[in-house]
Amino acid sequence: MKEKINTIKIGTDYENRVFKLFSSFLQKDELSFVSQKYSRIFQHKSYKCVGLDRTIDFDITIETYNPYSKENEWSSLVIVECKCLTHNVDISDLDEFETKMNKVSSSGIKGIMVTTRGFTKKSIEQAQKAHIALMVLSEEQYNWIVTRDINKPEHQMQVLLGNEQSGLVPTAYSNGLFVPLYECLDNMGISITEQNIVNIPWLDKKHIKEKANELYQRCGISSNDIAGEVLAQQYPEFSIEFADFPQGVLGSIAYSKKVINISNEIQTDVHRRNFTLAHELGHLYLHQSFLESFNSELLDYDEKGVLSLPDEIIKRMEIQANYFASYLLIPQEIFKNEVVRLFNIYSISKGRLYLDSQPCNKCAVLAILGTLSTKFNVSKEAIKIRLKNEGLLIIDDREPQRINQIITNY
């Protein structure tokens, strides 16, 4: 009996979370005399069956009205079915949902099925035929993963099939396409607001550099463990834990738990571990209001793939955190003085390094990368990116790709 009560509570909590998520996208203006359409959202509202003396209760419904419709009469209805399961939704669940919708009306109704796990292939095919949108939302805290492939169809299909975790912006599968949830609702005729759609302000490199330097100066860094000192002084409530992550995930912030997780994969790689911690500090320092608002867990994939991100919001967050990590771990004045010193040692007279097929240029680049990597306790890849961003390293793109690989693999 106790197990049954717990199961009911879990299902109710999940419905409430889905309701809160969908509610955040709706316009708040619900005045009946407004000159534009508007929408209202309900939980467990009953609707009369056509031709039957009975009603059906739905988990969540969104009624949309227009100014010319009769009072309290919706012009379109979106029905949301919540499935808090430990297994994939199968075709029988889709059939049952479709049958219930058709009993209320044969027109003006659209459906969305939301589940914790995923869907079988047959249920996905059936949903597409019935024009029912599908969505995967974990029953845990929002588990928003940052990855270069998050919005590519092949990755999203794996999410839908329950083989991968979902991404930053909740995604729906509707009419054979993957679209953000707010876009799915908009396509269904629901009056949505952009107020609560995730947005990260654009920050230029100069501003991020100033913010990183501000933090560095405030903490009065006295050791080579810059990220560790910043964390201890600026965010003493946060702890660091090592954890197993999917391949490519380097770290995460569980904001509600005040924990920064770092992958066991890089536990012994001091350079990558330092950069990952500094990257997470970048999220805390630059994106704290976002993290507080959504109380979310944010996971970060290897920074090498971030430039391929198709999602502008995720791409912006990751680029900002990467720049912040670079400027924090490699302070500008110290970096500039060290580069000048090394350029004098290696007789770099033109004010920048060139990487091409000439052995002398190649040796100078590799030697300077190694020295700076040791000096700042970061990887040669991080130094290479910083030098390129500062205009201090020019790579001859006409040369074979293997030259670029020499830097990474050295």
The residue among 285, 289, 296 whose CA lies nearest residue 253 is: 296
- Average pLDDT for 132-149: 58
- Please state which of the ranges 241-245, 249-253, 301-305 shows the lowest mean pLDDT: 301-305
What gap in Å lies between CA 249 and CA 148, rounded to an integer?
11
Classify residue 222 by burial, with Cβ atoms within 10 Å: 0-12, 13-18, 19+. exposed
Nearest to 394 by CA among 350, 336, 355, 357: 355
Q: What is the pLDDT of residues 321-352, one digit of tens each?
A: 999 999 999 999 999 999 999 999 999 988 99
Bigger pLDDT: 17 or 306? 17
Higher pLDDT among residues 180 and 133, named by residue = 133
Q: Which two tokens stand for residue 250?
A: 């380097």
**DSSP 8-state class, residue 69:** S
The three-state secondary structure class of 136 is strand
Residue 133: name the closest of 180, 76, 100, 167 by CA: 180
pTM: 0.58
Highest mean pLDDT, choosing among 93-107, 129-143, 226-240, 290-304: 226-240
What is the DSSP code string of 172-185?
Answer: EEETTEEEEHHHHH
Greater pLDDT, 33 or 98: 98
The neighbour count for residue 380, using CB atoms within 10 Å, is 20
d(CA 335, CA 70): 69
Angle at 119 between CA 114 and CA 121, to 5 degrees: 145
Extended strands (E) in 143-264? 143-146, 171-174, 177-180, 239-243, 249-254, 259-263
Q: What are the structural domains, with CATH classification, of the chain?
A: 2-139+169-187 (3.40.1350.10), 205-329 (1.10.10.2910), 332-409 (no CATH)
> 202, exposed or middle or buried, with CB in 10 Å at 0-12, 13-18, 19+?
exposed
Residue 151, pLDDT above cutoff 70: no
Three-class DSSP category at 304: helix
pLDDT digits (tens, 9 = 90+) for 372-405: 999 999 999 999 999 998 999 998 766 544 444 5
First to last CA, the chain: 62
Q: Distance between CA 59 and CA 61 in Å, rounded?
A: 7
pLDDT of residue 379: 93
User: Does the pLDDT of residue 85 top 50, yes or no?
Assistant: yes
CA angle 257, 216, 348 (to 5 degrees): 125
Q: What is the C-alpha to C-alpha distance for residues 103 and 56, in angstroms, rounded to an integer?
A: 9
Contact 370, 380 (CB under 8 A): yes
> CB burial class (10 A; 0-12, 13-18, 19+) of residue 347?
exposed
What tokens does 131 get?
């024009």
